[in-house]
Amino acid sequence: MGFAVNPAVVICECFARDGLQHEPLAMPTRAKIEIIDAITDAGFSRIEATSYSHPAQVPAFVDTSDVLKGIGRREGVSYKATCPNQKAVERALTDRAAGYGAEEISLLVSATQAHTERNLRTTRERQWRNVAEMATLAGEQFRLIGVVSMAFGCYFEGRVDQASVVEDIAHFASIGVRHVTVGDTTGHGTPSSVRRLFERIGRDVPQVTAIAHFHDTRGTALANCVAAYEAGCRWFDSALGGVGGHPAQIQYGEGYTGNVATEDLVNLFEAEGIDTGLNLDRLIQASQLCEKVLGRPLQSRVARAGYGFLN
């Protein structure tokens, strides 16, 4: 159960950012560092570590620089931070210059106007201008990860036209962003809609690496990951214990909001003979640590039942 040199899929572990932003109480800095180090030890090559969101808006990340400075780095691992605006990129550049910054930053847009106004407090047109300025400011210091939220449906506006999502991904490509996360933010995706969109992305924007990011609001996240894989996607986001969702201070959507659970996704891929490159024993240790720190059982089925019959 060691590390694969060239895994078949690349999974970004998102517990420390997308997961923790949904928690009502901020986690101590030392606990965040311990969890990220455990995730690193499990063999992830990409880890979403934190966010440069304004602390007044998302208090969970008041300690962003301290976390990035405190984690134990491993060669070949990219740590990612979300940057919602130009000030956030400036902070990311400052930490990078100090020697402990992120290797990747996420630049956010939403597929719908209503969600843009609710989540980013601006318009889509203005946010696209912001993103272009942020990409220019970031220069060559980071791998830029575009994010299109609400790609499969919006709590406020309903169905989202797949053509407009592909246009957003092409827009990212036009400003030099070559990796784009396709976010099912409120869990409206289904295997057929996922398969159609990822096939279309591969056909129409082949220069972009699409990243599948599914929330399990309606119980379809694992099936959607399989559909994305069958459509050619090889990069995925997930969170230990299935935690996550919108920031605790911003309410949209109802019910369970969490990400696809990493433990369950890894189990499914490995059982299908798809190499994740992860140390499965250390993955379960990281899962147990997340439950211990949050003080409750989380949503992963594999965390309760153990791995199935793996290839």
Domain ranges in the chain are: 10-305
Residue 57 has a pLDDT of 82
Give the phi and the psi of residue 195 in degrees, each rounded to 5: -60, -45
- CB-side exposure of 108: number of CA atoms within 13 Å? 25
Residue 253 has a pLDDT of 52
HEC-encoded secondary structure of the chain: CCCCCCCCCEEEECHHHHHHHHCCCCCCHHHHHHHHHHHHHCCCCEEEEEECCCCCCCHHHCCHHHHHHHCCCCCCCEEEEEECCHHHHHHHHHHHHHCCCCCEEEEEEECCHHHHHHHCCCCHHHHHHHHHHHHHHHCCCCEEEEEEECCCCECCCECCCHHHHHHHHHHHHHCCCCEEEEEECCCCCCHHHHHHHHHHHHHHCCCCEEEEEEECCCCCHHHHHHHHHHCCCCEEEEEHHHCCCCCCCCCCCCCCCCECEHHHHHHHHHHCCCCCCCCHHHHHHHHHHHHHHHCCCCCCCHHHHCCCCCC
Alpha carbons 238 and 15: distance in angstroms, whole number: 8
Residue 308 has a pLDDT of 94
Token duo for residue 180? 């784009």
Residue 248 has a pLDDT of 47
- The pTM (predicted TM-score) of the whole model is 0.95
Q: Which residue has the tokens 């800095």?
A: 29
Residue 256 has a pLDDT of 67
Per-residue pLDDT in tens (0 to 9) along the chain, 311 residues: 445 557 999 999 999 999 998 788 889 999 999 999 999 999 999 999 999 998 888 889 999 999 999 999 999 999 999 999 999 999 999 999 999 999 999 999 998 988 878 777 888 899 999 999 999 999 999 999 999 999 999 888 889 999 999 999 999 999 999 999 999 998 999 999 999 999 999 999 999 999 999 999 999 999 999 999 999 999 999 999 999 876 644 455 555 678 999 999 999 999 999 999 999 999 999 999 999 999 999 999 999 999 999 98
The reply to whether CATH 3.40.50.450 applies to domain 10-305 is no
